[in-house]
Chains A and B, each alone.
Chain A
Amino acid sequence: MNFHVSRRQILKGGGALIVSFAIGKTFNDALAQDALKVGKPLALTEVDSFLSIDKQGKVTVFSGKVDLGTGISTALPQMVAEELDVPLAAIKFIQGDTDLTPDQGVSSGSLGIQNGGVQLRQAAATARNALLDEAAKYLGEPRDSLSVDNGVIKSKLGKRVSYGQLIGDKSFNLKLDPKKPIRTKDPKDFKLVGKSAMRVDIPGKVTGQFTYMQDVRVPGMLHGRVIRPPAFGAKLESVDESSIKSIPGVTVVREKDFLGVVADTEWNAIRAANQLKASWSKSETLPDPAKLWDHVRSTKIAKDEVTSNTGDVVAALKGDGKKLSATYDFAINLHGSIGPSCAIAEFKDSKLTSWSASQATHNLRKQLAQMFVIPVEDVRCIYHEGAGCYGRNGHEDAAGDAAVLAKAVGKPVRVQWSRADEHGWEPMGPPTLIDLRANIDAGGNITAWDSEFFIPQGMPGSTPLVAQDLAELPSTFVMAPGNIVRNSAIPYKIPNVRTVCHRLESTPFRPSWIRAPGRMQNTYANECFLDELAAEAQIDPLEFRLKYLNDNRGIELLDRLAKLAKWEKRASPKGDRSGSLLKGRGISYTKYELDRTYVGAVAEVEVDRSTGKIRVPRFYIVHDCGQIINPDGVKNQIDGNVIQTVSRTLIEEVKFDRAMSTSLDWASYPILTFPDIPEIIIELIDRPDEKPWGAGEPTTAIVPSAISNAVFDATGIRLRSVPYTPDKLKMALQSM
């Protein structure tokens, strides 16, 4: 190994940020990002891409995976600190800056730790290994006599040298070979991993010292707002600029159907956007909302994807036994971030700098380069944490808007979306329709399982930006709702199984990945239908699942779930379903994407017979994501998965007319509030010797079915259309 003096250069001009705090001054590391050195390596095959250590021994971690409010800006440093044997406080965390951090892929799919963290851990282990070699030479001591404590390498004879002395501000010049991973620390020696380190961002967030994207300001910055068409596909016919002449310092920006205003102050931009008179053509591109599911079913299929095919389903469905079939649907859903999307853009010397809360700055960089026909190298995208996004919401679109406005006015422009912009124009969780069929023999065994999923086409990647579309700027990105075929296949051993995804050519709204994309909707239908089969066979639904599981971790998880929830063994529905308040319990299970995190849930529900309102007083979760990095962080994520998805299951649905979404605020798209939140009882299974898997999404996948199965247990009614609004259940209760 050769340690080289760094040739990194100090970035001058362009990206400098103002750190301004009027009351209560605290320097915020995240804002100093631009003062860092650029020109550093970014390749995934270099240790220097991920790590640097300064003369004081401060370790800087460069992470392509970003913290979306999930806590990985604590968990990833925990992994690195563990591997290097430095305190957590010695780590500085830099995230999502295309000039500074390697492209580790989109921060999505519960892969922050599983992929991003594991890469960082490899880099840290490789660095440590080399530092030990170097220390052996430096100290003249045998390598195996050395140990590391707090970033200081010591020999048995008491000689010592620090990381800072050995490498301080120099490059490692070390290669990483994913095919030949270096041995990482033995989990039995872990001091930080597996412990609930307090999150580093929380003190700043609860005292107003944290800088969210919405708080970032750059020198000379103006404020922009967008004025969206009142209907998807509407054309901008005319703009009456005299309508805002009373508001000082406003520039109107019009590019085809993209309309925006730029002003000196935020409030003037808001006023101008609200008052500007524009006329738009009439446009009705959405289907009749009353016939949404007919529309989905009749949409042209682009291709079929067979996600599992075992045995002979066609023959097995024709064989002896009881045939069951059911159709499930899951409404169009919003990410619904509490903070509407926000971004800043600046064009300087024909180079674009974009500040945003994008979960995929490296992808966004390519999109912006394409949009303005400039080289990718001339675009820098810098991440700042925004409000939680739970998938691809409007953050990237705001970045596109800011760039169009900044280019038009020749100054940096900050764009803050309104609540209606966010609700109406974020890409959405697409409507999902699922048909299932099965055959059960006289012994209560499933002999055939056949399912069809009607879901939009597209692969994971990037979604076209609203500004690209409205301003008719170049774009080759196609609609991409995420890897939504996942979990259409089932984690159970059944002799004849066929699962087919009909990838539809179009879907009513711009589709996107929302938390546990596809996995939530698909698992919902699968786990409800399995419950229908258990009820038909009159077998306890937990026992029924165990019967088809041949995976020891899954079996252990369900056994532990039964104990945790004090599961009463019996078939559903309950025998006694009298009274005005009906109570029931339901179970659900999945192995996420069939190859990682195991999770099981028991939901308890109460149904008010007179109103049809469902309450979910309690949820029990057992969760096995392998090696746990931060147990409290995992529990925090599980809480979030459960509460957000109870909300989706009971309440949420995008309403629309032929022109546009009509769910444009929290009154027309309500979410679960404090009085209705469930108590959540969690048991984590920690497996330090296994790979670390994700926890940001998997629990979401099993929440709707656990509730549905509990409602069936309580009432004998099988709800198959999410959300389970009181009127749907009331109608079903009345027709009993």
Chain B
Amino acid sequence: MTISKSLTVNGKKVSVRVDDPDMPLLYVLRDNLTLHGPRFGCGLSQCGACTVHVDGAAVRSCVTPLSSITDKQKVVTLEGLGTPQKPHPVQRAFIEEQAVQCGYCINGMIMESVAFLAKNKKPTEAQIKEALGNNLCRCGTHSRIVKAVKRASSYT
């Protein structure tokens, strides 16, 4: 049975229609709202590629049922942080450090880092590595990612 559901995504109220209220948030964002930021990586909460913010907290959208999200909660995706013309400071730092190879994991790296930096504004390298410890990258961009997060922390 198709149901209608209201959400607040990247500052906009949106309404989506789904067959299953427990469909993971990831598919709402990617398929219903055609966003590209959150990525499907494992569907098991193991890799972090699907990370989004719900009220500022980094959440793995691949295992977050739509039914658990209310329209009062603010869902923010990579697109909601900034654009190529006006990047968020963390996005800017990733560009400046050229901290991307294929970039498939980078959504998770940035979303996780933004949430982390909100709590720890001047982290050490070891703290950054620990904060990203559950985010997987296969290209081996880790060193640059750590540098980018460190750089972003110096902007404020």
Interface residues of A (CB under 8 A from B): 20-24, 26, 68-71, 198-199, 201-212, 214-215, 217, 247-248, 265-268, 270-271, 336-340, 385-388, 390, 416, 418-419, 632, 636-637, 639-644, 647, 665-667, 671, 673-675, 677, 679-680
Contact = CB atoms under 8 A, between A and B. Distances in A.
Contacts of A647: 140
Nearest to B92: A206
Given A212-B39, A339-B39, A677-B142, 8 more contacts: A24-B80, A69-B104, A204-B84, A209-B36, A265-B18, A339-B49, A640-B139, A641-B140
Interface string B47-59: 1010000000000
A505 B19 CA distance: 50
Nearest to B62: A419
Nearest to A247: B19
Contacts of B144: 636, 639
A385 B98 CA distance: 18
B41 A205 contact: no
Contacts of B133: 673-675
B139 A215 contact: no
B19 A70 contact: no
Given A207-B83, A210-B103, A339-B49, A23 B139 contact: no
Interface of A is mostly: loop
B36 A212 contact: yes
Name, among B42, B77, B95, the residue most crowded by chain A CB atoms within 10 Å (CB to CB). B42
B115 interface: no
B105 to A, nearest CB: 5
Interface in B46-87: 46-47, 49, 77-84, 87
Given A23-B12, A209-B83, A636 B98 contact: yes
A201 B12 CA distance: 27
B124 interface: no
Nearest to A390: B138
5 residue pairs, one from A and one from B, having the closest CB atoms: A69-B102, A643-B140, A208-B37, A388-B102, A205-B103
B95 A206 contact: yes
Interface residues of B, number: 66
Nearest to A645: B140
A268 B100 CA distance: 33
Contacts of A198: 95, 98
B153 interface: no
A267 B140 contact: no
B84 A69 contact: no
A503 B143 CA distance: 39
B84 A23 contact: no
A422 to B, nearest CB: 9
B23 interface: yes
Interface string B17-47: 0111001100100110111110111111011
A385 B18 CA distance: 29
B154 interface: no
